[in-house]
Structure 1
Amino acid sequence: MSSDPWGRVDETGTVYVRTADGEQVVGSWQAGSPQEALAYFERKYEGLVVEIGLLERRVRTTDLSAKDAQAAIGHLREQVDAHHAVGDLEALRARLDKLTESVEARREERKAQRARQSDEARQAKETLVAEAEELAQSEQWRAAGERLRALVDTWKGLPRLDRKSDDELWHRFSHARSAFSKRRKAHFASLDAQREDARKLKERLVAEAESLSDSTDWGATAARYRELMADWKAAGRAQREHEDDLWNRFRGAQDVFFAARSAVFAERDAEQAENLKLKEELAEEAERLVPVGDLKAARAAFRSINERWEAIGHVPRDARAKVEGRMHAVERALQESEDAEWRRTNPEARARAEGLTGQLQAAVDKLRGQIDTARAAGNTARADKLQQELDGRQALLDQALKGLQEFGG
C-alpha cells in the first residue's frame, strides 16, 4: 500500500483522498504501481489548481460576466466534488467559495453601476428633452437648428432606458424637433413671400429710377430720388440672387443722374464765381460815386453800372447778400442826395420854412420886449417865467433857421 498526506492506494489498487468527511474513493488504478496512481491523481489536482487560478485571474482582470463566471465555478466545483483528484480539496472548495463571493460582489457592483448609469442616462435624456422643448420656441433658426442636431448626436450616444421610459422621452424629444422644424419652415415660407413682394416693389423702383436718370429737372428729380431711396429701404430685402442686381441697377440710375447734375452744377458754380468777380468790380465802381458831388452825373453813372450788373447773371448764393448790399448802400446814398436836393428846390417848402421862421422871430422879439418891461417894473418872477418861454422859442427859431439854410436861404 502507498500513501501521501492527502491520499492512499490500497492493495486492490483503489485510490482514496482524505477529506474533512473522511476518505473518499478517487478511482481504481490497475495499470501501474501505487506511486504512479497517486502521482496521476495528484496531477489531476494540480490541474484543478491551475484552472481555478486562471478563473480567479479572469474574474479579477477581465470583464467576464457573472453568468459565465458562475458557470465556470459550477463546472470546477463539480470536478472537485467528484473527488477525482488527490490533494487539499477543501482548500479548492474554499477558493471556489471565495471566488463565488467575489463574483456576486461584482454582480451587485455592476448592478448598482447599471442603475447609476440608467439614472444618469435618464437625467441626461430628460435634460436633452427639456432643452429641445425650449429650443422649439426659439427664433434663432440657424443656431437652434444646429443645437438640435447636436442634441440628436448626444442622444444616440446615451444608453437605452427601459422601453416605456425611453419611448416616452424620445416622443417628447422628437415632437420638439418637429415643432421647431414646422415653425422654421413657416417662417422661411413667410420670409420668401416677403422677399418676393420686396423684389416686385424694387423692380418698380428700379424702373422709375432708370426712367429719371436722364432728367434735367435737377431739384424735383433729386427730391424724387430721395423718396425712392426711402421706399427702397422700407421695402426690405429681396431674394439673395436678385438683391444685388436690383441694387446695382437702382444705384447706377441714380449715379447717372447725379453725375450729370454735378457736371452742370460745377459749370454753373464756375460761371457764378466769375459773375461774382465782375459784380464785385461793379460794386467797387459804384462806391466811388459816394460822397455824391454832381447828383445828375452820379445817377447816370449808377444807371450804367446797374445795367451792366443786371446783364451779368447769378452769383453764388452765399455771396449774394454781401455784394448786393454794397450796391444798395450806394443807391441809398444817391436817394438821400436826391431828397436833400428836392427839399432845397421846392418853392412851397421854402415858403413854409420862411413863414415859420418869421413867426418865431416875431415871437422872440415880443418876448424880449416883455422881459425888459417886467424887469423895469421890478417884476422879477414874471421876467424869469418869460425868459424860460423865450429860451424855448429861441431853440425852435434856431432850428428853423438851420432848415431854411438848406433851401439856400
Structure 2
Amino acid sequence: MSSDPWGRVDETGTVYVRTADGEQVVGSWQAGTPEEALAYFERKYEGLVVEIGLLEKRVKTTDLSAKDAQTAIDHIREQVDAHHAVGDLDALKTRLDKLVETVEKRREERKQQRAKQSDEARHAKEALVTEAEELAQSDQWRAAGERLRALVDTWKGLPRLDRKSDDELWHRFSHARSAFSKRRKAHFAQLDAQREEARKTKERLVSEAEALSGSTDWGPTAARYRELMSEWKAAGRAQREHEDDLWNRFRGAQDVFFAARSSVFAERDAEQAENLKLKEELAEEAEKLLPISDLKGARAAFRSINERWEAIGHVPRDARPKVEGRMHAVERAIQEAEDSEWRRTNPEARARAEGMTGQFQAAVDKLKGQIEQARAQGNNARAAKLEAELERSQELLDQALKGLQEFGG
C-alpha cells in the first residue's frame, strides 16, 4: 500500500483522498504502481489549483460578468466535490467560497455602479429634454437647429433607462424637436411667400427703372429714381437666385440715366463756370463806380453793365449769392444817391421840412418860457413836468434840423 499526506492506494488499487469529512474514494488504478496512481491524481489536483488561480485572476483583473464567473466556479466546484483528485480539496473549497464572496461583492458594486450610471443618465436626459423644450420656442433657426442635432447625438451616447422612463423622456424630447421643426417650416414658408412678393415688387420697379433710363427730364426723373430706391429697400429681399439679377438690372438702369445726366451737367457746369467769370468781371467794373461823385454818369454806366449782365446765362448755384450781392450793393448805393438828390432838390419836401422845423422851434421856445414862469411862481412840480416835455420837443427839433440840412438849408 502506498500513501501521502492527502491520499493513499490500498492493496486492491482503490485510491482515497483525505478530507475534513474523512476519506473519500477517488477512483481505481489498475494500470501501474500505487505511486503512479497517486502521482496521476495529484496532477489532477494541480490542474484544479491552476484553474482556480486563473479564475481568481480573471475575476480581479477583467470585466468577467458575475454570471459567467459563477458558472465557472460551479464547474470547478463539481470537479472538487467529485473527489477525483488527491490534494487539499478543503483548501480548494475555501478558495472557491472566497471567490464566490468576491464575485458577489463585484456583482453588488456593479449593481450600484449601474444604478449610479442610470441615475446620471436620467438626469442627463432630463437636462437634454429641458433644453430641447426651450430651443423649441427659439427663433434662432440655424443655431437652434444645429444645437438640437447635437442634443440627439448626445442622447444616443447615453445609456438606456428602464423602458417606461426612457420612452416618456424620448417622447418629450421628440415632441420638442417636432414643434421646432414645425415652427421653422412655417417661418420659412412665410418667408418664401414674402420673398416671392418682394420679387414681384422688384420686377415692377426694375421695369420702371429701365423705362426711365433714357429720360432727359433730369430733375423729376432723378427724384423718381430716389423714390424707386426707397420702394426697393422697403420691399425686402427676394429669393437669393433672383435678388442679385434684379439688383444688377435695377442698378444698371440707374447708371445709364445718371451717367447721361452727369455728362450733360458736366457741360453745363463748364458753361456756368465761364459765366461766373464774366459776371465777376462785370461786378468788379460796377464796384469801380463807387463812391458816387457823378450820379448821372454812374447811373448810365451801371445800366450798361446790367444789360451785359442779363445777357450772360446762369452761374453755379453756390456762387450766385456772392456775385449777385456785389452788384446789388452798387445798385443800392446808386439808389441811395438818387434818393438823397431827390430830397435835396424837391421844393415841396424842403418847404415841409422848414415848416416842421419852425413848429418844433416855436414849441421849444414856448416851453422854455413856461418853465421860467413856473419856477418864478415856485411851482417846481409843473416846472419838472414841462422840462420832460421840453426834452422830447428838443429831440424832435434836432431831427427836423438834421433833415433840413439835407436840403442844404
Shorter-chain TM-score category?
0.7 to 0.9
Deviation at 1:400, TM superposition (A): 8.6
The 3-state SS of whatever aligns with 1:17 is strand
| In 2, Cα distance between equivalents of 1:258 and 1:129 | 59
| In 2, Cα distance between equivalents of 1:214 and 1:90 | 115
Deviation at 1:200, TM superposition (A): 0.8
Which amino acid counterpart does residue 240 of structure 2 have in structure 1? R
| In 2, Cα distance between equivalents of 1:132 and 1:107 | 36
Residue pairs, 1:312-331, within 5 angstroms: 312-331=312-331
Deviations 1:149-198 (A, max 9, x none): 11111111222222211111111111111111111110000000000011
CA shift in 2, pair 1:228/1:13, >3 Å: same
Task: Please list every run of 5 or more consecutive structure 2 residues that lacks an aligned counterpart in the other structure.
Answer: 370-375, 377-389
Deviations 1:233-277 (A, max 9, x none): 111111001111111122222222222222232322222222122
CA shift in 2, pair 1:403/1:161, >3 Å: closer
| In 1, Cα distance between equivalents of 2:89 and 2:206 | 103
The alignment status of 1:210 with 2:224, answered yes or no, reads no
The alignment status of 1:38 with 2:18, answered yes or no, reads no
Task: Please list every run of 5 or more consecutive structure 1 residues that lacks an aligned counterpart in the other structure.
Answer: 372-380, 382-388
Which residue in 1 is equivalent to 2:373?
Answer: none
Residue pairs, 1:133-282, within 5 angstroms: 133-282=133-282
CA shift in 2, pair 1:305/1:30, >3 Å: same
| In 2, Cα distance between equivalents of 1:33 and 1:53 | 31
The 3-state SS of whatever aligns with 2:198 is helix
Contact 2:350 2:404 in 1 (8 A): no
Which residue in 2 is equivalent to 1:286?
Answer: 286
CA shift in 2, pair 1:42/1:190, >3 Å: same
CA shift in 2, pair 1:275/1:19, >3 Å: same
Which amino acid counterpart does residue 56 of structure 1 have in structure 2? E
Contact 1:133 1:173 in 2 (8 A): yes
Which residue in 2 is equivalent to 1:384?
Answer: none
Aligned length: 384
Which range moves more in the overlay, 322-331 or 73-82?
322-331
Which amino acid counterpart does residue 166 of structure 2 have in structure 1? D
Deviations 1:114-141 (A, max 9, x none): 1112212222211111111111111111
Deviation at 1:327, TM superposition (A): 1.8
Deviations 1:18-65 (A, max 9, x none): 111111111222222211221111111111112111221222222222
The 3-state SS of whatever aligns with 1:315 is coil
Residue pairs, 1:354-369, within 5 angstroms: none
Deviations 1:214-246 (A, max 9, x none): 223322222222222111111111100111111
The alignment status of 1:15 with 2:6, answered yes or no, reads no
The 3-state SS of whatever aligns with 2:3 is strand
Contact 2:206 2:249 in 1 (8 A): yes
Deviation at 1:350, TM superposition (A): 6.1
Which amino acid counterpart does residue 184 of structure 2 have in structure 1? R
Contact 1:354 1:404 in 2 (8 A): no
Which range moves more in the overlay, 146-155 or 338-347?
338-347
Deviation at 1:355, TM superposition (A): 8.3
The 3-state SS of whatever aligns with 2:8 is strand
Which amino acid counterpart does residue 22 of structure 1 have in structure 2? G
- If the length of structure 2 is used for normalisation, what is the TM-score? 0.85
Which amino acid counterpart does residue 14 of structure 1 have in structure 2? T
| In 2, Cα distance between equivalents of 1:67 and 1:396 | 133
Which residue in 2 is equivalent to 1:127?
Answer: 127
The alignment's C-alpha RMSD in Å is 3.1
CA shift in 2, pair 1:78/1:292, >3 Å: closer
- If the length of structure 1 is used for normalisation, what is the TM-score? 0.85
Contact 1:16 1:24 in 2 (8 A): yes
The 3-state SS of whatever aligns with 1:87 is coil
Deviations 1:285-342 (A, max 9, x none): 1222233344333322221111100001222223222222222222233233333444
Which amino acid counterpart does residue 28 of structure 2 have in structure 1? S
| In 1, Cα distance between equivalents of 2:404 and 2:130 | 110
Contact 1:280 1:323 in 2 (8 A): yes
The alignment status of 1:52 with 2:42, answered yes or no, reads no
| In 2, Cα distance between equivalents of 1:135 and 1:18 | 75
Deviation at 1:353, TM superposition (A): 7.2
Contact 2:344 2:406 in 1 (8 A): no
Contact 1:272 1:315 in 2 (8 A): yes
The 3-state SS of whatever aligns with 2:289 is coil
CA shift in 2, pair 1:80/1:337, >3 Å: closer
Between the aligned residues of both structures, percent identity stands at: 85
| In 1, Cα distance between equivalents of 2:208 and 2:400 | 80
The alignment status of 1:300 with 2:300, answered yes or no, reads yes
